Amino acid sequence: MTIRISPDSLDWTKAHHMRNVAASNALLARLNRHHGGGRAAVVMPEPEPIVAPEPAVEPEPALPPVATENRDWLFVTPRPVTTIKDIQRAVAKHYGFTCMDMCSKRRTAALAKARHVAMYVVKSVTPRSLPEIGYYFGGRDHTTVLHGVRKIDNLVAADGVFRAEVDGLKAQFEAGQ
């Protein structure tokens, strides 16, 4: 599959969105991924000889002819991302601990429960892997994280009041997923 970029579209893109070479490379990579899943070749028009620019008589079009329908995927505004540290902070505050407590080696029942709830919320609302979650909780093993997540899952299934508490914590972060 070959993607041909018209000179008008290329000029419009350069004028409006290309501040440097890295930005243009990123745009071409997005085009390549969007139009062929990495199997397409982006073909740019041959460069024209450099001559003195003519004065612009007409205003530039609002959108280039090619990108009119699919412009939304080109310029995505970043949305807030839920981080493991944000979840740790909120759960620690809810249970009366600090983030350092969540990562410590202490294993008191109250602290372990808060830590397990935080691991459960992280696993529920982020795409993070068990080893990565364990790393953020003081370098714990992925099986420790799995145990904590399963334990909270069982408690949520058995206790409606606890389920409401955990759902309230999860609701704080599900919008930024």
Give residue 67's pLDDT band: very low, low, confident or very high (50, 70, 90): very low
Name which of 62-66, 89-93, 130-134, 172-176 the model is least confident about: 62-66
Do 45 and 101 sit in the same domain of this protein?
no
Which structural domain, as residue segments, surrounds residue 142?
A: 84-174
Alpha helices in 18-98, H assignment, sequence order:
21-34, 84-95
pLDDT surpasses 60 at 74 = no
* CATH number for the domain harbouring residue 141: 1.10.1750.10
Give residue 59's pLDDT band: very low, low, confident or very high (50, 70, 90): low
Residue at a domain's end among 77, 95, 118? 77
Mean per-residue pLDDT, 118-130: 94
| Phi-psi category of residue 167: left, alpha or beta, with phi > 0 → left and psi -120 to 50 → alpha | alpha
Burial class (CB in 10 A: 0-12, 13-18, 19+), 149: buried
Do 128 and 90 sit in the same domain of this protein?
yes
The residues facing 3 across adjacent strands are: 42
Task: Supply the pLDDT for residue 177.
Answer: 47
Mean per-residue pLDDT, 71-99: 81
83-85-91 Cα angle (round to 5)? 110
CA-CA distance, 9 to 65, in Å (whole number)? Answer: 7
Do 131 and 162 sit in the same domain of this protein?
yes
This prediction's pTM:
0.57
Do 11 and 32 sit in the same domain of this protein?
yes
User: Cα dihedral angle (165, 167, 170, 172), rounded to 10 degrees?
Assistant: -80
Do 51 and 89 sit in the same domain of this protein?
no
Q: Into how many domains does the chain fold?
A: 2
Task: Supply the pLDDT for residue 173.
Answer: 87
Q: What's the number of CA atoms in the CB half-sphere (13 Å) around residue 73?
A: 11
